[in-house]
Amino acid sequence: MKPDYKNWMPIQMIIGFLVGAIIFFILSLIFKENILVINQGWNGILFVIFLVLTIIMALICLYMYMLYRAFDYNGGRKLSKEIIEKTAKFSRVVEEGKVLDIGCGSGALTIAVAKENPKSYVIGLDRWGKEYASFNKKLCEDNAKIEGVSARTEFIEGNAVKLPFKDGSFDAIVSNYCIHNIPSRDRQKILLEALRTLKKGGTFALHDIYSRGKYGDMDGFVDKLKSKGYEKVELIDTTDKFMKKREASLYFLNGSGILYGKK
């Protein structure tokens, strides 16, 4: 039995745009054939509008399908799997260390970190929102059981904006493409909330899209952490390490990087 890590591109969204394209195409035919006669001029205008909407929806649907194929764990490219496994390589913890994975989704990174650190205990946290309706706690637990790490993993519901843990609770913190999805004017504040739960001497590897539009001045943030006494902080560009640059541009992953260091 294989684990089911689902897909970063929800199939429901693809189906939604496909249905939209079909509906707009039918409406364009209705007005083209004058089935609903308003007047000749308006029928022609509405035909063009609905035909344009059909093309737009169809192109979006096709692009989303390309994303789905690229990120599919069972597909040819397996980009999600590659990114998860490479992110997990940055999760170095002491023996029997405790790790937090923020935004665990289907449990992929939590499980990969548990495999990478055979004596660690890894907690995966997520709010499992409706936008990823197929991701849930049971799915994570089932995947961990199939992968043979259920005894060293735990999955809980929580919000990255306010983590349900005391200061200095973990030996390592990891995350993958989570925080940029959280609506916020200050995502650096969310990063600080994550680092609050890290022990002195603990490591962190937070992989995300660190564009200025999403995070502001990250070079300044790195300097800020260093001024606070962090032993090591660096922002490692992953657009040509975890994927091809062409893929980063095509799949809106430009700006991808790992905020990596030691407290």
At residue 23, the 3 state secondary structure works out as helix
pLDDT at 10: 86
Per-chain mean pLDDT for the chain: 93
Q: Domains in the chain: how many in total?
A: 2
pLDDT at 46 exceeding the cut of 90: no
Residues 153 and 95 in one domain: yes
95 pLDDT more than 80:
no
Per-residue pLDDT at 130 exceeds 90? no
Q: What is the CATH number of the domain that holds 182?
A: 3.40.50.150
Phi, psi (deg, nearest 5) at residue 129:
-75, 170
CB 97 within 8 A of CB 123: no
Which residues form the domain of 29? 11-71
pLDDT in tens, 226-258: 999 999 999 999 999 999 989 999 998 999 999
CA dihedral 24, 25, 29, 31 (to 10 degrees): 20
Cα dihedral sign, 143-147-148-151: negative
Q: Are 215 and 179 contained in the same domain?
A: yes
Residue 92 CB neighbours (<10 A): 14
C-alpha to C-alpha distance for 125 and 151, rounded to whole angstroms: 16
Please indicate, yes or no, if residue 199 is contained in any of the structural domains: yes
Give residue 129's pLDDT.
Answer: 82
Of 71, 88, 111, the residue at which a domain comes to its end is 71
50 shares its domain with 83: no
User: How far apart are alpha carbons 93 and 13 in whole angstroms?
Assistant: 38
pTM of the model: 0.90
CA nearest neighbour of 233 among 244, 243, 225, 241: 225
Does the structure show a pLDDT above 70 at 37?
Answer: no
Same domain, residue pair 245 and 228: yes
- Residue 111, pLDDT > 80, answer yes
Average pLDDT of the residues in 52-71: 96
- Provide the pairing of β-strand 170-176 with 198-209: parallel
Examine the domain organization and report whether 174 and 61 are in the same domain. Answer: no
Give how far the C-alpha of residue 26 lies from the chain's centroid of Cα atoms, to the nearest Å.
35
Structural domain includes residue 206: yes
148 plus 238 within the same structural domain: yes
